[in-house]
Structure formats: structure tokens, C-alpha cells
Amino acid sequence: MKIGVFICHCGENISRTVDCPRVARVCESYPGVEYAIDYKYMCSDPGQNMIRDAIREKGLDAIVVGSCSPHMHERTFRNAAVSAGINPFLVEIANLREHCSWVHDDVEAATQKAIELVRMAIEKVKRDKPLSKINVPVTKRVLVIGGGIAGIQAALDTANAGYEVVLVEKEPSIGGHMSQLSETFPTLDCSQCILTPRMVEVYQHPKIKLLTYSEVVKIEGFIGNFKATIKKKARHINEELCSGCGLCITKCPTKKKAYNSFEEDLAFRPAVYIPFPQAVPNIPVIDESVCMYYKNGKCGMCVKVCDRGAIDFDQKDTMLVADIGAIIVATGFKLYNIDKKAADSKYKGYGEYGYGKYRDVIDGLQFERIASASGPTAGEIKRPSDGKVPKKIVFIQCVGSRDDSKGISYCSKICCMYTAKHAMLYKHKVHDGEAYIFYMDIRAGGKMYEEFVRRAIEEDDVKYIRGRVSRIYEENGKYIVKGEDTIAGMPVEIDADLVVLATAMIPQENSAALARTIGIPYDKYGFFNEAHPKLRPVESTTAGVFLAGACQSPRDIPESVAMASAAACKATILLSSDTLEREPVVAKVNEDLCAGCFYCKKVCPFGAIEVKDVKDMNGIVYKEVAYINQGVCQGCGTCTATCLSKSIELAGFNNEEIFAEIAAL
């Protein structure tokens, strides 16, 4: 084996404390080294050409580069080696900059350490084996979990890129929280008007298979080769036959039996219902817990009125399995509520505001429904308790957010904006009404956001009071809001008719369980972890799974849509090639030596190790051995250390290579 050693000065970052010529000279006489040279900028074009030329002229089989951290230029030098005909994995980097020249002042000690580091790399490269990238087939289909605006956008972008999409939404209709909003900041355009066309586009898109009232129950496999099991809950209505005429809804006798969760419990709905008029798909759902037929077997009014015979009481949940190449998670958020929590819950309720016992102390989404034209009050601002038009409304920012004692230390980002919007909507509809907003700091960082808040203050005369509200209690129909005005430096008391709390954005109820089903990490609140906060915000650390919208952290609509398109783009990149190239750093079991104790299978964090039967000539299984699935193995090497007889080798870090590095000390 002929080895080339190339020592870089890195300008003078290395050569200031490491005598590069001397390192090169010492390595030249080292056994196995054919050629050794030092140069000012090894990673520059002339430097790389020097490497390429040396490989060709000296017939080198492997190279060692003494330079900066492999995390910086390992790929550069590997590409240079490949272009000169050497396998990229016969290139070793000795980190002479971050781990040597920059951190030691004494030239002699630094140079001596540099020599030893290069020697370790030489010994390792001698035992490196040529490796090639692993190719794994890619299924050309994307699974989008969550049908809010983020899920809709991701599904549309991926489908428009020509790939099949399976969009799974747990509610009867897509639209998510955006469909509940009245108008959206900062342009005050009506939420339904900008959302419904997108929803219809999803419904009619030939490439999108829409599964509403469904949940993902299992995800198996790995990047490019996922297998998703989806439970389609029984709607008790045959989707092909139903024309969406809505007769069954109007005729259903159980008018006031259940709260409509879409209306945030401000209105009721019958047993058979669609969540809101513009629901997509426009197919109702029968709620077993309320429907008389399931209670006492009688009624069946809907069957009578339905001329297409679409009602099907014995419809059962069905399971669908789909092969998936990439997954985009867009499950969105939920609002924190102030009710009294169990002792062990990670959140605390708001006893100061009455733990939710006052009907006219509502949250942001409830106010959206009150302000929305299709809402319970047809757009008129009326308070839930007695339907009166409130003369004085107090809005409170940061209810739960930015508050360690309630268990939520982060800022929920969008409340400053939607509270200003709420105040504006109120003032537009009730001109002589008074709107007070208790705030700590207004965070209006988006485009046209600050101007929007200024407009609320200057044109709509919304009174901003800087201070926290300490207590709310009801006194003969009025809600006494006790707080402080920290700028005026005195306590404040307002007798409000309605109080709207801008409660924190927290992840969906079962986000942690879903994360475990998919196999992606999540933080202590239940938001899903991105691969890198700055550089890889829409990718999860699990390869092939992308994140969009508020399931990753509090997001407003523009950001959710941007993230959704980014995630769609990442998915299409993954799906654009027929096979997937993966780093060859994976483990391999020597099946002759494996004793079948399967400790490796227990420790493998990715479940990449399977039991493989070894048969003798006449097909009888005489032993079971561990087999590592090259596609799933991420190359962590935990199995190699757990294997007692050391019969598992990790490519790139095999026993001989590590041994050689230790021996060269």
C-alpha cells in the first residue's frame, strides 16, 4: 500500500505553532508512506490539484491529510481523491488545527502531537477497506400527517411535483385551526375565503388520497421504505353514495345533544354532523356516543330521509396499509386551557382567573368563533353567558406562555398579533366598546405586523396596559379584572363584560405518542425536535421524516405555509432519485462466529438487527444468527461493543482500524 501524506499550513493557522515541513519530513520516512509534502492551502484548488497529481504520478493507494477538522473538509479531500481514482474511504484526516495548533502554544509539544496524530491516521488508513455508498430503493409516495394549512400546503406542493400523497386527518374535515378563524392578521382577509379553495384543490387533486376521520397507528421501515398502517374510523356514512345534501343533519332529532368541538363548545350539534359549512369532504359523520340508534336501537330518521341510502350503521373501522417514501408531520397545535390540572400534570391551571368556571372568561379560538360569520353568534360580538353585547372587553396576553410556574417557559409567538386583531374586530363591530389589552412585551416581528398593532392603537383606540393581571372574579354580572399598570406604577381595576385570554400554544394531545409511533424525538413539551435549529429546521433527526407548522414550535400561518413548502421540497428531493445513497458506515455480522445471544438486537436503537435462520443442506434450521439490515442501520456501533465475541464490524471504524490507532500512540 502506497500512502501520500499532505500537511496543510492553513495559511498560518496550523504552521504558526506546528512545524509543518518537519511533520512532512518525519512522515516521509515512515513505513508505507510513499510521498509527503506540506503546502500553504491544501483545501484550495492548487492544493487539491497537488493531491490529484501526486496520486497519479506516485501511484498512491491512500492518502492522509493533516489539516482542519474532518467535519470541515473531509468531503473536499474525499472528492479530490475520487476524482484521481482512489476510493473515498481510503482518505483519513488528522485534525492538526482545531485539536492541535489552535489549542497549544508550545511549538515543540504541538509539533510532536501533530506527528503522532498523523502517524495514527497513517496506521488507520493502512487498515481502511474501500467502501461504496449503499443504495436503497425509494417508494415514490409521501405521507402527510395532519390536514391543517401546513398539511394542505405540503400535500399540494408534493402532489404538484408529480408524487402520490396520502393525507391523513383525524377530524371529519381538513382545514385545521385556520378554518375556525374569522379573519387573519395582518391583512384582515377572511380566513375561510383564502383557505377553502386550497381545501377543494386538495379534494380534487388526482395525486392526493385524502383520508379524513383517520389516524396513523403504526410506522415501520426506514427512509425511502416506510410502511404506514392507517386506521380509517367508521363514519357510518358511505362516502361514495353520499351527495352531501345535509338532509340527515337537519332531520336528526338529537339537536342539542353534543357540543360542537369546532365551535369550541359554544354551540351544539346533532349526532350526525359536519363540523362547519365549508367542510371538505362534505360528508357527515355519525357520532355513536350521541346517536339514538346506538343507544336504544330506535330512531333511524336519517336512513328514512336519505334518498341515496348512504347511511350504514354497521360500518366498521378499516385499516389501510401504504408504502411510503417520505413522511411530512404537520399535526399542528392545541390551546392551553386554564382548568384545574391533576397534581402530576406538567401544566398548572389558573386559579387566579377562576380555573375556567366563569363562562365569559374565554380563550382566543372561542373569540374567533364568536367573531366568525359562520359562528354561533353569526359574527356579532355577544358574550356566551347571556348573549349581551359586551361594552368593555379585557384581553390578557401571555396566559400560560412565558411562565415557568405554569410549566410553559416559551413565548407562543402569535398571540400579540391575534389579540390586536381581536381588539380591532371588536372595535369595528362595537364602535363605542372599550378594549383593554394587558401585555408584557408586544412581539410583532413579521411583515406589516408592527404597523398592524400601531393601527389598533391609533385608529381603533385599543388601550394597551403594560402589566400582568393578578386576579379575575365575577361580581353581579361584571368581571373585575385586577392588574397593574407598570408604566403608571399603580394598580388597575377594570369591570369588564368579557375577558379573552391569549392562552399558550401547546402541542396536540397525543403528540408524544405519535412521535413514538413514527420514531422521531420530541422535547419536554411534546413539540417535535428538528435536526438542527438553524440549518435543518424542517427535517427531523430521523432520516426521511420532515416537520411543518406548529407541531415543531409555535408558528403563525405564513411560517407554517413556508415550512410546509420547504418540507415538501425536502421530500421531493428525497423522492427525486430512484435509489437513495447512504453513508456506507454500517455494521455487518460475521455469521460464522455469531453465537445467537442477540444482545446486539437488544441494544440496537434503530431495530436494524433481525433474527436470520441458518439452514443446513437439507433445509433444517440449525442455528439463528443476527442479521443487520443495511438500510436501517445508522452506523452507531453500539452493537460492536456489546458483542462479546466481537463478531460485528462497523465499516469505517472496524476493529483493526481502532486497534491501529491505539497501537500507534
Partner 1 sequence: MTSMEEVIMKYGYYPGCSQTGSAKEYDISLRKVIEKLGASFDEINDWSCCGATSAHVTNHKLSSALAMRNIMLAGQQGLENMVAPCAACYNRLVTSQYEISKHPELREETEELLSAKFQKEINVINILELFLKIGINKIIENRKRELSELKVACYYGCLLVRPAAITKFDDAEQPVSMEKIVESTGAKTVDWNYKVECCGAAHSIARRDIVVDLSKKILEDARSHGANVIAVACPMCHTNLDMRQRAMKRTYPGHEELPVLYLTELIGLALGMNEHELGIDLHYINYKYTDPVPDNTVA
Partner 2 sequence: MEELREYAKELLEKKEVAAVIGYTQVSENRTKPIIITDPADASKLVFNEYCLNNLSVYLTKARINAMCRTKDKIMKLAICAKPCDVHSIVALIQENQVHRNDIVIISFNCHGAVKDFGYEFSGENLASKCITCETHKPLYFDKIFGEEKETPKASDAALARIEELESMTHEERFEYFNNEFDKCIKCYACRAVCPLCYCQRCITDKAIPRWIESSSHQRGNFSWNIVRAFHLSARCTGCGECDRACPMDIPLSLINRRMAMEAKKSFSYVSGRSLETPTLVGSFNEKDSDELFM
Partner 3 sequence: MDKEKWEPKIVAFVCNWCTYTGADLAGTSRMKYPANAKMIRVMCSGSIDPVFIIKAFERGADGVLVSGCHPNDCHYNAGNFHARRRWDFFHELLDFIGIEKERLQFSWISASEGKKFADVIAKVTKDIKTLGPFTAYKKMNSEFTAVFPEIQEVVKETIIKEKETV
Interaction site with partner 3 (CB under 8 A): 22, 25-26, 29-31, 69-71, 95, 97-100, 102-106, 109-110, 112-113, 115-117, 120, 123, 521, 541, 585, 603, 605-606, 634-638, 640-642, 646, 650, 652-653, 658-659, 661-665
* Binding flag, residue 641, partner 2 (CB under 8 A): no
* Binding flag, residue 647, partner 2 (CB under 8 A): yes
Q: What share of the chain is helix, strand, coil (3-state, %, to 5)?
A: 30, 25, 45
In whole angstroms, the minimum distance from the beta carbon of 383 to partner 2 comes to 48
Per the CB < 8 A criterion, the answer to whether 374 and 191 are in contact is no
* Binding flag, residue 477, partner 1 (CB under 8 A): no
Of 605, 593, 606, whose CA–CA distance to 643 is shortest?
593
In whole angstroms, the minimum distance from the beta carbon of 134 to partner 2 comes to 25
* Binding flag, residue 351, partner 1 (CB under 8 A): yes
* Binding flag, residue 473, partner 1 (CB under 8 A): yes
Among partner 1, partner 3, partner 2, none, the one that 113 touches (CB under a kind-dependent 5 to 8 A) is: partner 3
In whole angstroms, the minimum distance from the beta carbon of 350 to partner 1 comes to 8
In whole angstroms, the minimum distance from the beta carbon of 266 to partner 1 comes to 24
* Binding flag, residue 593, partner 1 (CB under 8 A): no
- Residue 588 phi, psi dihedral angles, 5° rounding: -140, 135
Burial of 629 (0-12, 13-18, 19+ CB in 10 A): middle
Q: Which is nearer to partner 2, 448 or 641 (CB)?
A: 641
Among partner 2, partner 1, partner 3, none, the one that 623 touches (CB under a kind-dependent 5 to 8 A) is: partner 2
Per the CB < 8 A criterion, the answer to whether 182 and 372 are in contact is yes
In whole angstroms, the minimum distance from the beta carbon of 96 to partner 3 comes to 10
- Taking CA atoms, 257 is separated from 101, 180, 260, 271, 312, in Å, by 75, 21, 10, 7, 21
Among partner 3, partner 1, partner 2, none, the one that 100 touches (CB under a kind-dependent 5 to 8 A) is: partner 3
Residues 6+ apart with CB under 8 A from 284: 172, 235, 237, 242, 244, 246, 248, 249, 272, 273, 274
Q: Which is nearer to partner 2, 322 or 600 (CB)?
A: 600
Rg value, the chain, Cα: 32
Joined together, the cell numbers standing for residue 431 give: 364602535
Whether omega before 270 lies within 30 degrees of 0, making that bond cis, reads: no
Among 133, 471, 615, 646, contact with partner 1 (rule: CB under 8 A): 471
* Binding flag, residue 352, partner 1 (CB under 8 A): yes
* Binding flag, residue 595, partner 2 (CB under 8 A): yes
Strands 434-439 and 463-466: what pairing?
parallel
Residues 312-341 that bind partner 1 (CB under 8 A): 340
Of 630, 571, 646, 624, whose CA–CA distance to 151 is shortest?
571
Among 54, 430, 633, 660, contact with partner 2 (rule: CB under 8 A): 660
Q: Which is nearer to partner 2, 197 or 596 (CB)?
A: 596
How many CB atoms are located within 10 Å of the residue 239 CB? 14
In whole angstroms, the minimum distance from the beta carbon of 623 to partner 2 comes to 6
| Alpha helices, H only, 243-305 | 247-251, 292-296, 301-305
Q: Which is nearer to partner 3, 617 or 665 (CB)?
A: 665
Q: Which is nearer to partner 3, 115 or 230 (CB)?
A: 115
Of 10, 69, 64, whose CA–CA distance to 42 is shortest?
10
Residue count at the site for partner 1 (CB under 8 A)? 11
How many CB atoms are located within 10 Å of the residue 401 CB? 22
In whole angstroms, the minimum distance from the beta carbon of 71 to partner 3 comes to 6
* Binding flag, residue 354, partner 1 (CB under 8 A): yes
In whole angstroms, the minimum distance from the beta carbon of 579 to partner 2 comes to 33
- Residue 417 phi, psi dihedral angles, 5° rounding: -75, -45
β-bridge partners, 204: none
Q: Which is nearer to partner 2, 41 or 598 (CB)?
A: 598
Among partner 3, partner 2, partner 1, none, the one that 355 touches (CB under a kind-dependent 5 to 8 A) is: partner 1
* Binding flag, residue 268, partner 1 (CB under 8 A): no
250-260 burial: b if 16+ Cβ within 10 Å, else e: eebebeebbeb
Angle at 14 between CA 9 and CA 19, to 5 degrees: 80
* Binding flag, residue 659, partner 1 (CB under 8 A): no
Q: Which residues bind partner 2 (CB under 8 A)?
A: 592-599, 602-603, 620, 622-624, 642, 644-647, 655-656, 659-660, 663
Residues that bind partner 1 (CB under 8 A): 340, 350-352, 354-355, 471, 473-475, 480
